[in-house]
Amino acid sequence: MEKCVGKVYVMNDTDVIRYEDSHEKIWDKFINENSVNGTFLHTRAFLNYHPKERFKDCSLFICAPQNIYQPYAVVPACEYMEDNQKVFYSHMGSTFGGIIISSAHYTVLDISDFADCLDKWLANNAYYKVILKITPDIFSQEKTDLLQYLLWNKGYEQYTELSTYIDFSIYSDDLLSNFNRRKQRDVKKCSEHSLEGKFFEKPGEIEIFYTLLCENLLKHNTKPVHTIEEIFALKSRLENIVTFYGIYDGEQMVAGAMLFFFKNTNTYHIQYSCAKQGIKEYSPMPYLFYKLIEFSHVSNARFLSFGISTEQKGQVLNMGLIKAKEEYGVNFSLNRTFYKIVKG
> What architecture does CATH give domain 2-160+336-341?
3-Layer(aba) Sandwich (3.40)
Contact 17, 60 (CB under 8 A): yes
Amino acid at 276: K
pLDDT in tens, the chain (344 residues): 344 444 444 445 789 999 999 999 999 999 999 999 999 999 999 999 888 888 999 999 999 888 889 999 999 999 999 999 999 999 999 999 999 999 999 999 999 999 999 999 999 999 999 999 999 999 999 999 999 999 999 999 999 999 999 999 999 999 999 999 999 999 999 999 989 999 999 999 999 999 999 999 988 788 898 999 999 999 999 989 999 999 999 999 999 999 999 999 999 999 999 999 889 899 999 999 999 999 999 999 999 999 999 999 999 999 999 999 999 999 999 999 999 999 86
**245: exposed, middle or buried (C-beta count within 10 Å: 0-12, 13-18, 19+)?**
buried
Per-residue model confidence (pLDDT) at position 220: 79
pLDDT for residue 4:
42
* Residues 6 or more apart whose Cβ sits within 8 Å of residue 276: 212, 252, 253, 254, 255, 284
Instruction: Return the pLDDT at 219.
Output: 84
For 170-301, CATH number out of 3.30.2270.10, 3.40.50.720, 3.40.630.30, 3.40.50.2300 equals 3.40.630.30
CA separation for the pair 62, 26 (Å, rounded): 13
DSSP 134: P
pTM above 0.85, yes or no: yes
Q: How far apart are CA 256 and CA 278, in angstroms?
A: 15
For the chain, give every domain's residue range: 2-160+336-341, 170-301
User: How far is Cα 343 from Cα 145, in angstroms, rounded to an integer?
Assistant: 25
The two domains 2-160+336-341 and 170-301 share their CATH topology (first three levels equal): yes
3-state secondary structure of 233: helix
